[in-house]
Amino acid sequence: MKRPKNSYLIIGGILLLIFFNGCSSYNSMVTKEEGVTAQWQQVEVAYQARMDKTKNLFEIVLANADYEKGTLKEIIEARSNATKIQLNVENLTEENLAKYQKAQDQFGQSLGRLMAISENYPQLRANEAFQGFQAQYEGMENRIATERVRFNEGGRDYNTYIRRFPRNIWAGLFGFEKKAYFQSAEGAETAPDIKSMRE
């Protein structure tokens, strides 16, 4: 029994639709993944700017000999730990991102402590270079927060896209995996006690 030509056309049309859907989905996933990668690079740039600016901070603080050496040592160690953890965009797992974030948060908290207790040291507060750093500090932290929010938004868009049917099938076939998000720092739900930071 002969199959009618229409059957072949219908089957061919269905296969063609599947092919084009796969190509379209793949290209969209690549575009969204590249968006996440580009935003991750912006996060790294913001953190690197903070690292670079703190090099000068150490010299400023050391020049004020009576400054609390323990706090400075804590900042130097936190900065060193934060620079040791390098995270590639291909390895943005929940676990790896949590380690990276923890090191960066510890460094940020150390800098915040320095800003809070600097009021106890009039000669440090009066130092023009330190005043300049204080003005830049807020901007650096705001930029980091903004870039992290944008990264999470890009990650959410990408993750939602690859998890929807039928794209989840194509994502599995092409090896696209879910990206991790930045989480709030441990204890962020509790407001810091500025008085205790100054003591």
Gap between the Cα atoms of 137 and 146, Å rounded:
14
CATH number, domain of 170, equals: 1.20.1440.20
> In the structure encoding, which two tokens stand for residue 58, read together?
């150490």
> In the structure encoding, which two tokens stand for residue 57, read together?
């901070």
Tens-binned pLDDT, residue by residue, of the chain (199 aa): 555 678 888 888 898 888 988 899 999 999 999 999 999 999 999 998 888 888 777 676 666 645 556 777 777 788 888 888 888 878 888 888 888 999 998 888 888 877 777 777 766 666 777 777 777 888 888 999 999 999 999 999 999 999 999 999 999 999 999 999 988 766 554 544 545 444 4
Gap between the Cα atoms of 109 and 134, Å rounded:
14
Specify the amino acid at residue 164: R
Gap between the Cα atoms of 110 and 116, Å rounded:
10
* Cβ–Cβ < 8 Å for 126, 120: no
Q: How many domains does the chain have?
A: 1
Range of the domain at 66: 5-198
Per-residue DSSP letter, 192: P
* Predicted pLDDT of residue 69: 65
> In the structure encoding, which two tokens stand for residue 192, read together?
């810091």
Helix axes 94-117, 128-163, angle to 10 degrees: 160
* Cβ–Cβ < 8 Å for 63, 127: yes
* Predicted pLDDT of residue 3: 58
* Predicted pLDDT of residue 197: 43
With a CB cutoff of 8 Å and minimum separation 6, the contacts of 170 are 21, 22, 25, 26, 29, 176
pTM of the model: 0.75
* Predicted pLDDT of residue 126: 67
